[in-house]
C-alpha cells in the first residue's frame, strides 16, 4: 500500500504540474512546495523537479507539430540556455535562495503588469539591437530557472515576446524547447551532486510527460488570447507566492 502511494502521489503531481507547464508555464510552483512537503530539502526538491523536463519535451513536440516553433530562430539560442542551466545549478549549490525569491516575485508582478497593459501582443519585426539584448535575456533567464527551479518559463516567454516579436503562444511554445537545454544541463550538475530523489522523481517525470503533452494540446486549441490570460494568472500567482509565502 505504501509503495502504491509513493508511486501514485508523484505521478499525479507530475501530471498536474506538467499540464500547467504545457499550457502556460510555472509547473515548478506546484512541484517544489509539494516535494518539500513530502520531506525533501529545498535543494533536493528543485533538483528532483528538474526531471520534469519531460513536460518540456512532450509539449515542445506538440507545439512543433503545430508549426508554432521557428527552429531557425530558436535553435541558435539553445547553447545559451544550456550555459545558463549550468551557471544557475552551480549557484543553487552554494547560495541562499530566500532573498532572491522575493526579488524574483517582484519581477513576476512587474512583468505581469507590462504584459497586461500591452493588450495587443501580436507578431512583429524586431531589429538587431533587440535580438542582441535577447541573447542576454535568454542566458539570464535560464540562470534564474536553474537556480529557483521554477519561474524561468515566465521570464523566457517575456524575453521571446518582447525581444523577438513572438506572440504569447509562439513564445510559450519556443520557451519549451529552450527549457530542455537549460534543464538538461541542470540535471547533469544535480546528478553529480547526488541530490536527486529518483524514487519520487521517476513517477513525477512520467506524469509530467503526459501532462505536458495534454497541456500543449489544450493551449493550441484555446488560442493565443486564452493562453495569454492563463499565463498572466500563473505569473501573478507565482509572484504573490514568492513575495508572501
Residue by residue, DSSP assigns 88-155 as: HHHHHTTS--HHHHHHHHHHHHHHHHHHHH----------HHHHHHHHHHHHHHHHHHHHHSSSHHHH
Q: Which helix (H) or strand (E) holds 26?
A: none
Burial label, 22 (beta-carbon count in 10 A; 0-12, 13-18, 19+): buried
3-state secondary structure of 50: helix
**Joined grid coordinates for residue 48:** 528532483
110-142 burial, b for 16+ CB within 10 Å, e for fewer? ebbeebeeeeebeeeeeeeeeeeebeebbbbbb
**Joined grid coordinates for residue 161:** 515576446
77-106 burial, b for 16+ CB within 10 Å, e for fewer? bbebbbbbbbbbbbbbeeeebeeebeebbe
- pLDDT at position 239: 63
- pLDDT at position 241: 63
- pLDDT at position 124: 54
Residues 220, 64 contacting (CB under 8 angstroms): no
- pLDDT at position 5: 62
- Spell out the per-residue pLDDT of the chain, length 245, in tens: 556 666 788 999 989 888 888 887 777 777 877 887 888 887 888 889 889 889 989 999 999 999 999 898 899 999 999 999 899 888 877 666 566 556 656 666 666 666 565 554 455 556 678 888 888 889 988 888 777 766 677 788 888 888 888 888 888 899 999 989 888 988 999 898 898 999 999 999 999 999 999 989 988 887 766 666 776 676 677 667 666 65
- pLDDT at position 130: 80
Total-model pTM: 0.77
- How many Å apart are CA 4 and CA 222, to the nearest integer? 35
Amino acid at each position: 500500500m505504501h509503495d502504491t502511494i509513493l508511486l501514485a502521489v508523484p505521478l499525479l503531481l507530475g501530471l498536474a504540474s506538467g499540464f500547467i507547464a504545457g499550457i502556460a508555464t510555472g509547473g515548478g510552483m506546484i512541484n517544489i512546495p509539494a516535494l518539500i512537503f513530502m520531506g525533501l530539502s529545498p535543494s533536493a526538491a528543485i533538483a528532483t523537479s528538474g526531471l520534469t523536463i519531460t513536460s518540456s519535451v512532450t509539449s515542445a513536440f506538440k507545439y512543433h507539430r503545430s508549426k508554432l516553433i521557428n527552429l531557425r530562430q530558436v535553435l541558435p539560442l539553445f547553447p545559451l540556455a544550456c550555459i545558463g542551466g549550468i551557471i544557475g545549478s552551480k549557484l543553487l549549490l552554494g547560495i541562499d535562495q530566500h532573498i532572491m525569491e522575493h526579488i524574483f516575485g517582484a519581477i513576476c508582478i512587474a512583468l505581469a503588469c507590462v504584459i497586461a497593459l500591452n493588450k495587443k501582443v501580436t507578431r512583429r519585426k524586431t531589429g538587431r539591437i533587440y535580438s542582441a539584448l535577447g541573447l542576454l535575456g535568454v542566458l539570464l533567464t535560464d540562470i534564474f530557472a536553474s537556480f529557483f527551479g521554477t519561474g524561468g518559463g515566465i521570464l523566457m516567454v517575456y524575453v521571446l515576446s518582447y525581444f523577438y516579436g513572438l506572440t504569447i503562444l509562439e513564445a510559450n511554445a519556443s520557451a519549451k524547447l529552450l527549457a530542455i537545454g537549460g534543464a538538461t544541463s541542470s540535471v547533469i550538475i544535480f546528478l553529480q551532486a547526488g541530490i536527486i530523489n529518483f524514487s519520487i522523481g521517476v513517477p513525477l517525470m512520467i506524469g509530467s510527460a503526459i501532462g505536458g503533452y495534454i497541456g500543449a494540446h489544450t493551449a493550441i486549441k484555446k488560442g493565443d488570447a486564452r493562453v495569454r490570460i492563463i499565463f498572466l494568472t500563473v505569473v501573478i500567482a507565482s509572484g504573490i507566492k514568492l513575495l508572501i509565502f
